[in-house]
């Protein structure tokens, strides 16, 4: 039985640090630390995101339904065009439709057809399923021969922590799949499984040993494991009465796939926990100890309490260096200054300027040594933001400008968390 690491204590300690420092006088160092603590708390509190991806007809939606334990996602040939669909835990069944640039709305129950009619950017389906307490399932739209579908799939993969790439066993691991997968960040490939689907079909079953042997030789650096799966047989096994057919569940590949999904998700959660524990030991717990030792004073001296807290915090923590954040803020300031100095600038021009600076910084981050070791996800956030800014250029109204400013601010928060490094650590490592 694969168990996920318990993160309750670490989240509680991070929340305590955030609460204790909420009303202290602001400074760049403090805000960087708070952003860093918040990033850890959010990652440890949220379910691990498992993405199901593959070419059209690979059976990824059927596989996601099987692991969710419910027929939520439409499968096979169907006319319901869906964006990214997220299946997550919820006390009551509900369907939420969302857009990148406007508020979400929620329908009671499972209402995919109604949600699709709203033409959202993504749909979230909530189910009361114990399996979804630790993992959430991201069913990505299928990719095909067109480059646009490649770009869309690659963009959506930025939202997930682990990937199950589904390849049709009748023609497994085609060149088009290799081409797309070669563009996925290495960090994500380390948390991925290649599922060979339709393994229950006679033509596939006859050649399965040979196909799996070939894929095992090719998987190094691409996937953690290769798992053949007959999804209809797996569903049949788990729905058998009066109790699941465990022998069939094992023979069809359902047991192994479920174990592999939980394994890569558990490894990812353990890595997130390890990163948070290091920062708690080196940064946040010393800060809390210093703040807890602040002498009590009368209420009339409230400002003195805040000053004393800040002084204690400054003494307890190492000096923080964040040149990445400084360079980013300077670049954003240049954009804003250009807007102020221009007599007339169209919104599309402002959005294009934002997109260009985000793309430029994204390229720099890929080769940068200034990121925290636990922040490999940040370059992907910049790539995703560049895509969103490109989409906003095709929208009308003033809301898109506010959205662009919000995107820039969020990227600054990411860098505040990811680029902040204790100066004594830099001296020890020599970086």
| pLDDT at residue 309 greater than cutoff 80 | no
- Tell me the mean pLDDT in the region 3-25: 90
Contact 86, 121 (CB under 8 A): no
pLDDT of residue 291: 77
| pLDDT at residue 273 greater than cutoff 60 | yes
Provide the greatest CA pair distance for the chain.
82
- CB proximity list for 83: less than 8 A, separation 6 or greater: 120, 121, 122, 123, 141
pLDDT of residue 306: 47
pLDDT band at 431 (very low <50, low <70, confident <90, very high): very low
What gap in Å lies between CA 254 and CA 248, rounded to an integer? 9
Higher-confidence residue of 363 and 285: namely 285
- Exposure string of 274-287, with b = 16+ CB inside 10 Å and e = fewer, is ebbbebbeebbbbb
| pLDDT at residue 303 greater than cutoff 50 | no
Q: Work out the mean pLDDT of the chain and round it to a whole number.
A: 83
pLDDT of residue 213: 96
94-98/122-127 β-pairing: antiparallel
- CB proximity list for 148: less than 8 A, separation 6 or greater: none
Total residues found in the chain within this entry: 431
pLDDT of residue 250: 95
| pLDDT at residue 294 greater than cutoff 50 | yes
Range 47-252: architecture per CATH: 3-Layer(aba) Sandwich (3.40)
- Tell me the mean pLDDT in the region 408-425: 66
Instruction: Quick: pLDDT tens for 200-251.
Output: 999 999 999 999 999 999 999 999 999 999 999 999 999 888 999 999 999 9
Closest to 129 in 3D by CA, of 163, 96, 87: 87
Instruction: Quick: pLDDT tens for 245-262.
Output: 999 999 999 999 999 999
What gap in Å lies between CA 356 and CA 353, rounded to an integer? 5
pLDDT of residue 41: 94
- Tell me the mean pLDDT in the region 105-132: 92
pLDDT of residue 429: 30
- Tell me the mean pLDDT in the region 117-122: 93
What gap in Å lies between CA 170 and CA 198, rounded to an integer? 7
Higher-confidence residue of 155 and 226: namely 226
Instruction: Quick: pLDDT tens for 19-39.
Output: 988 888 887 778 888 888 999
Instruction: Quick: pLDDT tens for 162-204.
Output: 999 999 999 999 998 998 898 888 889 999 999 999 999 999 9
pLDDT band at 124 (very low <50, low <70, confident <90, very high): very high
pLDDT of residue 360: 86
What gap in Å lies between CA 1 and CA 20, rounded to an integer? 38
| pLDDT at residue 408 greater than cutoff 60 | yes
pLDDT of residue 370: 58
Global model pTM greater than 0.75: no
pLDDT of residue 430: 29
pLDDT band at 428 (very low <50, low <70, confident <90, very high): very low
pLDDT of residue 120: 93
pLDDT band at 399 (very low <50, low <70, confident <90, very high): confident
- Tell me the mean pLDDT in the region 392-396: 76
| pLDDT at residue 18 greater than cutoff 90 | yes
pLDDT band at 1 (very low <50, low <70, confident <90, very high): low
Contact 299, 398 (CB under 8 A): no
Closest to 33 in 3D by CA, of 284, 273, 303, 264: 284
Sheet holding 84-89, edge to edge: 105-108, 94-98, 122-127, 84-89, 135-139, 48-54, 162-168, 192-197, 225-228
Distance of CA 31 to the CA centre of its chain: 23
Of 17-21, 176-180, 261-265, 389-393, the least confident: 389-393
């Amino acid at each position: 039985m694969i168990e996920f690491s318990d993160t309750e204590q670490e989240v509680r300690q991070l929340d305590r640090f955030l609460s204790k420092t909420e009303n202290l006088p602001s400074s760049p160092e403090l805000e960087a630390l708070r952003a860093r603590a918040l990033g850890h708390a959010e990652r440890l509190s949220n379910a691990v995101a498992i993405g199901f991806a593959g070419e059209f007809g690979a059976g990824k939606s059927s596989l996601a339904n099987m692991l969710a334990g419910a027929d939520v996602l439409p499968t096979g040939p169907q006319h319901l065009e869906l964006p990214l669909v997220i299946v997550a835990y919820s006390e009551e069944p509900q369907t939420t439709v969302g857009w990148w640039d406007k508020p979400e709305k929620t329908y009671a129950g499972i209402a995919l057809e109604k949600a699709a009619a709203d033409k959202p950017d993504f749909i979230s389906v909530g189910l009361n399923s114990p399996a979804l307490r630790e993992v959430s399932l991201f069913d990505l739209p299928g990719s095909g021969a067109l480059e646009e579908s490649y770009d869309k799939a690659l963009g959506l993969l930025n939202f997930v922590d682990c990937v199950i790439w589904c390849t049709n066993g009748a023609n497994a691991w085609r060149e088009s799949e290799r081409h797309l997968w070669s563009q996925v960040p290495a960090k994500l490939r380390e948390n991925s499984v290649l599922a060979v689907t339709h393994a229950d079909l006679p033509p596939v079953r006859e050649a399965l040993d040979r196909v799996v042997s070939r894929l095992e030789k090719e998987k190094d650096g691409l996937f953690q494991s290769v798992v053949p799966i007959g999804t209809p047989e797996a569903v049949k096994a788990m729905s058998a009465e009066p109790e699941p057919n465990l022998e069939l569940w094992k023979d069809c590949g359902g047991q192994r796939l479920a174990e592999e999904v939980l394994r890569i998700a558990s490894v990812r959660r353990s890595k997130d926990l390890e990163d948070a524990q290091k920062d708690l030991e080196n940064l946040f717990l010393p800060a809390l100890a210093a703040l807890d030792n602040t002498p009590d004073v009368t209420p009339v001296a409230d400002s003195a309490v805040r000053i004393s807290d800040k002084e204690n915090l400054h003494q307890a923590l190492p000096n923080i260096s964040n040149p990445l954040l400084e360079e980013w803020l300077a670049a954003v300031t240049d954009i804003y200054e250009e807007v102020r100095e221009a007599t007339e600038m169209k919104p599309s021009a402002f959005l294009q300027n934002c997109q260009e600076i985000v793309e430029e910084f994204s390229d720099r981050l890929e080769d940068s040594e200034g990121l925290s070791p636990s922040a490999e996800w940040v370059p992907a956030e910049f790539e995703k933001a560049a895509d969103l800014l490109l989409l906003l250029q095709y929208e009308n109204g003033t809301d898109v400008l506010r959205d662009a400013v919000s995107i820039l601010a969020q990227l600054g928060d990411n860098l505040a968390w990811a680029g902040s490094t204790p100066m004594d650590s830099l001296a020890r490592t020599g970086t």
